[in-house]
């Protein structure tokens, strides 16, 4: 059962009439393309350096970076207690009331800045002791200092990023991300590749990447945010966001705890091998996240109106088709790419990647169902389900890691994301469900399963270049055959032909 649109209060700004479904689909396609192309370009630039890192850095060094990245992600949850979610959701409540939006966002910024300074001071006092208790190979000096500084600076971008996501300003977000990534890569190349300072160069590059985009964020805040402190608004935001903290924390455990358990069980060198394989599930999540950023604003505006559920169902089909395509490509090509491009010390990561990438499929699907819970502001259910998935992952990793090695941790990650997605789907169904085109989704799953089976049948006994070429050819054929799957209506076929002609003319 969906929530009705509330009546407009006297004096409240009038919202414009809704756009047509065709206009929204065009904007969804445009923004998804901007996000996807931008993120793919960013990931491609990063991926090109991964083989170089495997030559210059020993697995033990790469393991330090893997643990440090894990800790940085977790600490960012402490510095920003999910308030980006509140900014995104409440943007639609204040979308047509600029004064209220400026006041709300200013309250969030004021709180985040004060909180981050206090938390950083506490970490500087207890950090050396805490790192000594938790890690064998990750020292607070200098790695912890870089991590704390990066977390503090990252809070400046919380409100601008969330606002641009809600307002569908895809080009600005991709531009900021591109600037950050270019800085990261340039500093990493200078420090790690040219100066050969070692893994500390990766930490310094991450800090530089966050620092360089702080100035555009400050400019946004000065122009668009009123720096005030409204206790009532902060209370409403925290009431929305704090129940998400256990959810995000459990999500972090689900995504990252395997590296910590590998370090404690098998040694930090194997963390580096596992982290090199994890690059590919990160790529899946980057593309899924790009599609999600384009999709969520349109879903949030449309879900409350039952007449627009057909539009939502159509977008869900497109989302899943794109996700399956990315997962199939990465699962098929990643083992060959590792054996062909990575240093021989990292080749044991090759069999891990198809399993991890399949876990990314469930991780991406989860975005669709959790949007229903966020719409209804049923945030308290979300952390419960995520904790269950996180505990499942940890228990299975502890069980399978000694028995199966690194592949056991990969399978535990996959099962954890499967549990998360199933739980979110059941919770969303209890609230009215996610509109779906069941026949068309079934055809997408059938096509993906058939192509996946064909790729699996090719085996992995050939030399890496031959295997890569064979799998790429099989993928190309499978994607071409998608045209003959009875999935498209005439309007979609016409649009696809038009886009193909545009591409050919430009070529």
Residue 303 has pLDDT above 70, yes or no: yes
Every domain of the chain and the residues it spans: 19-57+243-500, 83-241
- Residues 196-236 have pLDDT tens digits of 898 899 999 999 999 999 999 999 898 888 888 888 888 98
Burial class (CB in 10 A: 0-12, 13-18, 19+), 270: buried
> What percent of the chain clears pLDDT 70, i.e. is strictly above it?
89
Burial class (CB in 10 A: 0-12, 13-18, 19+), 116: buried
**In this predicted model, which residue has the larger pLDDT, 10 or 283?**
283
- Residues 80-97 have pLDDT tens digits of 988 888 888 787 777 777
Residue 145 has pLDDT above 50, yes or no: yes
Q: Tell me the helices (H) and strands (E) count for the chain, helix number first.
A: 19, 0
489: which DSSP letter?
-
In this prediction, residue 46 has a pLDDT band, given cuts at 50, 70 and 90, of low
Give one word for 459, left, alpha or beta, with left for phi > 0 and alpha for psi -120 to 50: left
Helix, strand or coil, per DSSP, at residue 431 = coil
Q: How far is it, in rounded angstroms, from Cα 244 to Cα 196?
A: 41
- Identify whether the C-beta of residue 487 lies closer than 8 Å to the C-beta of residue 444: yes
Q: How far is it, in rounded angstroms, from Cα 202 to Cα 216?
A: 23
Q: What is the pLDDT of residue 418?
A: 95
pTM strictly above 0.85: no
Q: How far is it, in rounded angstroms, from Cα 61 to Cα 261?
A: 17
CA angle 425, 430, 433 (to 5 degrees): 60
- Residues 319-377 have pLDDT tens digits of 999 999 999 999 999 999 898 888 888 899 999 999 999 999 998 999 999 999 988 87
DSSP 98-136: HHHHHHHHHHHHHHHHHHHHHHHHHHHHHHHHHHHHH-S
Q: What is the pLDDT of residue 464?
A: 84
Q: What is the pLDDT of residue 488?
A: 87
- The three-state DSSP-derived secondary structure of 152-176 is HHHHHHHHHHHHHHHCCCHHHHHHH
- Residues 390-437 have pLDDT tens digits of 889 999 999 999 999 999 999 999 999 999 999 999 999 999 889 999
- Identify whether the C-beta of residue 499 lies closer than 8 Å to the C-beta of residue 26: no
Helix axes of 214-224 and 158-166: crossing angle, nearest 10 degrees? 70
Q: What is the pLDDT of residue 21?
A: 58
Output the furthest CA–CA distance in the chain (Å, rounded): 72
Q: What is the pLDDT of residue 476?
A: 94
pLDDT-wise least confident of 8-17, 111-120, 132-141 = 8-17
Q: What is the pLDDT of residue 64?
A: 87
Q: What is the pLDDT of residue 165?
A: 78
Q: How far is it, in rounded angstroms, from Cα 505 to Cα 183?
A: 35
In whole angstroms, how large is the CA radius of gyration of the chain? 23
């Amino acid at each position: 059962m969906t929530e009705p649109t509330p009546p407009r209060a006297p004096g409240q700004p009038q919202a414009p009439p809704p756009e047509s479904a065709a206009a929204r689909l065009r904007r969804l396609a445009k923004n998804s393309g901007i996000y996807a192309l931008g993120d793919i370009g960013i990931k491609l630039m990063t991926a090109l350096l991964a083989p170089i890192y495997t030559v210059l850095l020993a697995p033990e060094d790469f393991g330090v970076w893997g643990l440090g990245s894990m800790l940085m992600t977790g600490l960012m949850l402490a510095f920003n207690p999910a308030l980006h979610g509140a900014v995104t959701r409440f943007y639609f409540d204040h979308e047509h009331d600029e004064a209220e939006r400026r006041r709300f966002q200013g309250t969030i910024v004021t709180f985040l800045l004060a909180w981050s300074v206090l938390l950083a001071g506490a970490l500087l006092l207890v950090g050396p002791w805490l790192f000594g208790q938790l890690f064998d190979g990750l020292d607070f000096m200098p790695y912890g200092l870089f991590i704390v500084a990066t977390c503090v600076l990252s809070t400046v971008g919380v409100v601008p990023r969330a606002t641009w996501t809600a307002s569908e300003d895809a080009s600005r977000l991709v531009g900021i991300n591109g600037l950050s990534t270019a800085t990261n890569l340039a500093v990493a190349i200078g420090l790690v590749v040219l100066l050969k300072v070692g893994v500390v160069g990766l930490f310094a590059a991450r800090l530089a990447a966050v620092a360089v985009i702080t100035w555009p964020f400050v400019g946004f805040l000065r122009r668009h945010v009123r720096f005030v402190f409204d206790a009532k608004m902060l209370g409403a935001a925290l009431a929305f966001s704090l129940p998400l903290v256990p959810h995000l924390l459990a999500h972090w455990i689900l995504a990252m705890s395997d590296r910590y358990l590998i370090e404690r069980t098998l040694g930090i060198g194997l963390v580096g091998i596992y982290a090199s394989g994890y690059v590919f599930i990160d790529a899946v999540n980057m593309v899924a996240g790009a599609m999600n950023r384009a999709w969520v604003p349109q879903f949030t505006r449309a879900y409350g109106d039952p007449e627009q559920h057909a539009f939502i169902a159509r977008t869900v089909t497109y989302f899943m088709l794109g996700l399956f395509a990315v997962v199939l490509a990465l699962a098929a090509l990643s083992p060959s790419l590792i054996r062909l491009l990575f240093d021989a010390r990292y080749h044991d990561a090759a069999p891990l990647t198809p399993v991890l990438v399949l876990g990314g499929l469930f991780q991406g699907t989860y975005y669709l169902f959790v949007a229903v819970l966020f719409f209804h502001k049923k945030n308290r259910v979300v952390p419960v389900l995520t904790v269950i998935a996180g505990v499942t992952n940890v228990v299975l990793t502890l069980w399978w890691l000694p028995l199966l090695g690194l592949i056991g941790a990969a399978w535990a990650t996959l099962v954890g994301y499967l549990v998360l997605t199933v739980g979110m789907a059941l919770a969303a169904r209890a609230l009215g469900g996610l509109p779906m085109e069941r026949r068309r989704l079934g055809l997408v799953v059938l096509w993906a399963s058939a192509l996946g089976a064909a790729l699996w049948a090719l085996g992995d006994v050939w030399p890496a270049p031959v295997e890569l070429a064979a799998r790429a050819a099989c993928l190309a054929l499978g994607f071409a055959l998608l045209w003959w799957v009875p999935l498209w209506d005439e309007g979609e076929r016409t649009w696809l032909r038009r886009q193909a002609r545009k591409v050919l003319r430009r070529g």
